[in-house]
Amino acid sequence: VSTLSWKGSIFLLTDFGNSDEFAGVLRAVAAREAPGARVVDISHEVPPFDVRVGALMLERSVPHMGPGVVVTVVDPGVGSDRRAVAMSVRSSDGPGFLVGPDNGVLSFATEVLGGADSAVVIPPARWRPDAGATFDGRDVFVPAAARLWSGVALAEIGTTIDPATLVRLPPPQLEVLPGELKAEVLWVDRFGNVQLAAGPSDFEVAGLGHQLWVSRSSSSTTPQAVNAHAAKASSSFDVGDSLGLITDSNARVALVRQQGSAATVLAVKEGDVVVITDRRPPS
């Protein structure tokens, strides 16, 4: 990683919410420590302590970022001995550095960006000797990101560690069988679209056709019909008025309804597993 001065953004993704001043204080500290940096809020509404949801949001976001440093704080272990880390990534496209707790929240994005090139543990810091260590976003992560943004070398930010020791989350659940596919629900978005841990090619491998049935894995309710021009459709308008499958904007397969919530119809939430089959259920 070059230590030459370079320009880019400081990106922020946290579970701090927008009601308290937490996110605002991060923005203020970034502005103070890196007065020339653009600060880009990705979101502060990761559900509290939900490392997996944060990791998935980050994975979906990094391909669209320009150069810069990404700070991700979803940190149920703040104040414990979990490590605070910063890493440079292999991809020369997009953000060059990721900063956050070493609890797996960075792991999916790291993989998207080609893996970690090198990594360091950031030492604790306190803004006042008498204040507690409960706000590492403000006291550790953003200050470290500001230094990286300013061109300070990664090795000067902390103690070098083997990137192979960085915590990784288990991969999303996906099982592809002939005529059947079981996939984790990765994301239910504001509009009720249900993103699955599967791509169009997984449907091809399973040999799934145009008329499918979907149900929640743990549910005993009757599977619902799905219009599966599916993995080939590219918008909810291609599936008409029924429940449909499309390839979404992250190149994953999603269950959708036209201007309606597929999640409500299916009664699924993030982390559930759905079963999709071409075998018509007994009626």
Residue window 10-39: x/- pattern of binding to its own copies, with contact defined by CB under 8 A: -x-x--xxxxxxxxxx-xxx-xx--x--xx
Q: With residue 175 as reference, give the H or E element that holds it.
A: strand 174-177
Which CB sits closer to its own copies, 148 or 233? 233
Interacting residues with its own copies between 158 and 197 (CB under 8 A) = 187, 189-191, 193
Which CB sits closer to its own copies, 4 or 64? 64
| Rounded distance between C-alpha atoms, residue 249 and residue 128, angstroms | 45
Smallest distance from the beta carbon of 66 to its own copies, in angstroms?
Answer: 3
Smallest distance from the beta carbon of 35 to its own copies, in angstroms?
Answer: 7
User: Which residues are within 8 A (CB) of 73 and not within 5 positions of it... i.e. 6 or more apart?
Assistant: 12, 13, 14, 15, 16, 26, 100, 101, 136, 137, 141
Bridge partners of 177, per DSSP, are 180
Q: Which residue stretch of 111-119, 204-212, 246-254, 270-278 sits at the interface with its own copies (rule: CB under 8 A)?
A: 246-254
Number of residues that bind its own copies (CB under 8 A): 72
Q: Are 152 and 120 a contacting pair, CB within 8 Å? A: no
Which CB sits closer to its own copies, 66 or 207? 66
Work out whether 242 is an interface residue with its own copies (CB under 8 A).
no
Report the interhelical angle of 142-149 vs 22-33 (nearest 10°).
30
Interacting residues with its own copies between 110 and 149 (CB under 8 A) = 127-128, 130-135, 138-139
| Rounded distance between C-alpha atoms, residue 278 and residue 14, angstroms | 40
Per CB under 8 A, the list member of 51, 55, 65, 228 interacting with its own copies is 65
